[in-house]
Structure 1
């Protein structure tokens, strides 16, 4: 998800991160609607949309399954039943179904967990926003995946991993999920950590259930993501192994309390909790979001520190490969250094990712002019002049005259 997450949006995001509900089997009622069913290797998709859509959803979820299992390493043969995904074509039908199941409705998707694995299902509805559809399927799909293998995982793992996967992107051409690091919560979490009281003490955080977390929702869910991110990316492998040991030691059939007791005895007893919290805070302080990297890069570029700017923009491009801004600025840096072929590559890449056409075309023209490719420069400059005559008209005219042309 792009853009800064403000504190005002916590309530909306909480509706997403708490989108899992455990129901008793007696509440299950037979569906009456006519649905298309499509079965894949691990999923059963039920939908009132055409079969091609059901097949597409199944392909997407299979890609998500393999993404999740790159981290969990569960044995797919141990899956007790196909993972059911029910997608409605309209919000109204989704609401009607949820009222029948839970007595309420919601804006976001939900995972319904029953004692009987065959009755469990992820439920949602078609969204016009493909990015949001993918995000919600990944979030609830992560919870569904984990709870298919572990009936009662710790809440910090369930919710932290669900947010961890949210930014990944589905590539329909290769039927695969491309991992993208999700830093949505980074800036809000750092802000919360700096306030009076700071983070929830880890000794308390690691034992919280949904009821306890709901009493401190503005902090618990960002902290769950931050803790998982810390366990995955912290340079000290002693902390990395907490995540892998946790996954390895969870019992599929144990109660919530029994799994927590196992982790206390066999994982967290080896660590100094206060020291772990300090390392977590240090990790969060050193972690930089796309927005921060972009701001640091621009500041460095304007001050003439091209090396620092290049490092910041390169890191930003890896966090969000689809955003044009890092590539545009990398083009400016390459142009300043006189590496014109590289500058052209970056400018062209920025255009492909949605950069402002007139400004980037003008930059391409200046770059070609500096590289003594006059015909190419003239083509770009005239186009920029046409796209934004008020901004580039006089500048282009002066350059054309320098090239021996009478201009436009």
Structure 2
């Protein structure tokens, strides 16, 4: 078998066998296939696509290129969730203690932020002492004891995906749905969970800009999960404006605590409740996802899962007293307030630009080795559809001077106040394996 023959086969629209895909992944990971040939292969896939069998084979080959986590000694059904990335997405921070309180087991491996999307691991590290690196035995023991753990993704998980993604980034093949789906699912399948809910963001602040693209990606990821004998549900959620009000690492922890207290933003509470409902159904805690949703929403409203958040922080070495006074999470930054110049309604928000503005302040990375300022970011005082009066605060910037001028300019150009009261549809669609 030769790589040039497989490039040629895919170039003309041929369907690759499992054996052929395994050959490509194994030999590229081992250094037997050079970057220039792998680049040609990826471009052939970009133009010709892959069917669900090929995409599944690709995901499994990348999964098997490294460590596949064995969670069998965690009691009960192990659940997990994954977001395709957005602005202000602090769902995991709320969902982990909520799921644990309600009796399911969440063993979560998360990533760091890059570009305009924030990373759960960076957010947790804004809590002094919080340890995101746990030995596997300790990770599993913690899930057994308190129902959840959130750690950084091991470098041994899907190394083929890391190597291929770096190549996709410089060969203009990032936006290929089979490659995106296989990349995401290789890591999720390697993480060992029995049931997974995928939060697929769609809109101006998401990688998937249109509902049609998001549905195509979601269906393919659910199919891959089904073929790999995992319970997978995909939920399409709006990212036409940031999720919640706060963007930035410590600020998002603050808002997560607010939500666990029962005082969180409606959109964040809703998204967390919907995802939790499906996880509870998969875990057998509730009979249906609808029943699980109602249970989750009621639990949040009554603040019952907040002690589980403190328990998570304590278990991973974080300073519980620090987060119990959540104002500590606002840090010692300076503040700059952008106000409305006229009356009306907030009609549109460019979520992508808000994420970029937070990054310019130091909340996000342009390159993987950039150092973050964990206490800067944005607080959006108005959501789409809200009434606005001249002089009302629209956005507060928490800053330490870095990037302030650029962020102010970007934000000022990224929202529209008009005469129309708009309503966003938060949950666009849900795709489950039995609907395929």
TM-score of the superposed pair, with normalisation by structure 1: 0.25
TM-score of the superposed pair, with normalisation by structure 2: 0.24
Flag the structure with higher strand content: 2
Bigger relative CO (Cα 8 Å, ≥ 6 apart) = 2
Flag the structure with higher helix content: 1
Structure of greater Rg: 1
